[in-house]
Amino acid sequence: MLQILAVIAPLFLIIFFSALVQKYRRLGEEWSQVFNQYALKVGLPVLIFTALAQAPFSFGAETGLLVANSAFIIIVMLAGLIVGKVFKLSRKLLRTIFICLAFGNVAYLGIPVLVQTGGEHVLPQVTLIVGVYLFWIFSLGIGFLEYSAAPKGKDALKKTLLGIVQNPLLLAVLFGLFFGGLGLGLPGVVRQTLEMITASVTPTVLIVIGLFIGGSHLGRWKEWLPALFFSLVTLLLLPAIFYFGIKFCNMPPFWYSTSIIQAAMPLAITPFALAERYGLDKNFIARSIVLSTILSVLSLPFWIDLLTFQVF
């Protein structure tokens, strides 16, 4: 585990150094906004498209990966709704739990952690998993939020379809799957240009996470208890469900090592950006992002060491 921690330590050092700079130098929110907009609308879509487009794959050969991750995300979303109904959570908190349970940091943190640990050759598989997550989150997940936020579901379908068309991340997934699935190559000049952009994505998104953590309001310790419980669920329970679900199906867990590690990622920062539009609990989301990211320094090495990355 110490060896794995040493491998991913530089990633977290960037996060926490950025957090310290933000906390004591007060760079302002405009830095985070600019970096985040670049990552969401340019860098990350280019990375996802480039990785998928340059790794020809067969949908038939990757059926197990696609089905397993799709089933996991849908089950997690449904579990969030069931828990919300059983415990009679407020409408705001129910929507928040629903989207946050499935919105692990599979792209911003998952891609650099897995590439740093497994090598560049795992990027296509990792990116395909990210594509599965983004597809269901930005279709089924955002569709539910649109539906619940609209009066009696008015124009929910129209808004959902419009959101899909306008979302650069999902468009990158769809175009990347199209190029990769058909084995279409990219011209040399285009490929080199895209690769230059992708090289900037990892440090950028790690800095964004750090700036967000450094600018967050801590609050009283009792206010962090719900976030602590949520963090333990996302970092330990969800990947355990994936792990034992695979074993229950009589399949070796190391075949799905990348998927299980992705399921163990802390909460992404995107739900915070969606909070205002869909009436989500911003304080709960902010605390959960901060706490789950910090605790993942311990939980991720545990899962990586457990699975030993035999798949690579």
Q: Which of 213, 234, 206 lies closest to 299 in space, CA to CA?
A: 234
In this prediction, residue 160 carries a pLDDT of 62
Give the span between the Cα atoms of 102 and 80, in whole angstroms.
9
In this prediction, residue 261 carries a pLDDT of 93
> Could you identify the residue written with the tokens 């050759």?
121
Given a contact cutoff of 8 angstroms between Cβ atoms, the answer to whether 267 and 209 are in contact is no
In this prediction, residue 238 carries a pLDDT of 95
Q: What are phi and psi of 104, to 5 degrees?
A: -70, 160
In this prediction, residue 227 carries a pLDDT of 92
Residues 6+ apart with CB under 8 A from 51: 123, 124, 126, 127, 176, 198
Instruction: Confirm or reject CATH 3.40.50.300 for domain 2-307, answering yes or no.
Output: no
In this prediction, residue 151 carries a pLDDT of 62
Would you list the domain boundaries of the chain? 2-307
Given a contact cutoff of 8 angstroms between Cβ atoms, the answer to whether 126 and 114 are in contact is yes
Spans of the chain below 70 pLDDT: 1-8, 55-61, 149-161, 163-164, 218, 308-312
pTM (global) more than 0.85: no
In this prediction, residue 169 carries a pLDDT of 72
H or E segment at 61? none
Q: Which two tokens stand for residue 296?
A: 């993942």
Q: What are phi and psi of 225, to 5 degrees?
A: -60, -45
Q: Which of 76, 58, 46, 20 lies closest to 245 in space, CA to CA?
A: 76
In this prediction, residue 60 carries a pLDDT of 65
Give the span between the Cα atoms of 129 and 132, in whole angstroms.
5
CA distance to 25, 50, 63, 84, 209, per residue, from 33 (Å): 17, 24, 37, 32, 11
> Could you identify the residue written with the tokens 């990210």?
130
Q: Which of 136, 20, 164, 139 lies closest to 68 in space, CA to CA?
A: 136
**Looking only at Cα atoms, what is the longest distance across the chain?**
56
Q: Which of 216, 219, 239 lies closest to 294 in space, CA to CA?
A: 216
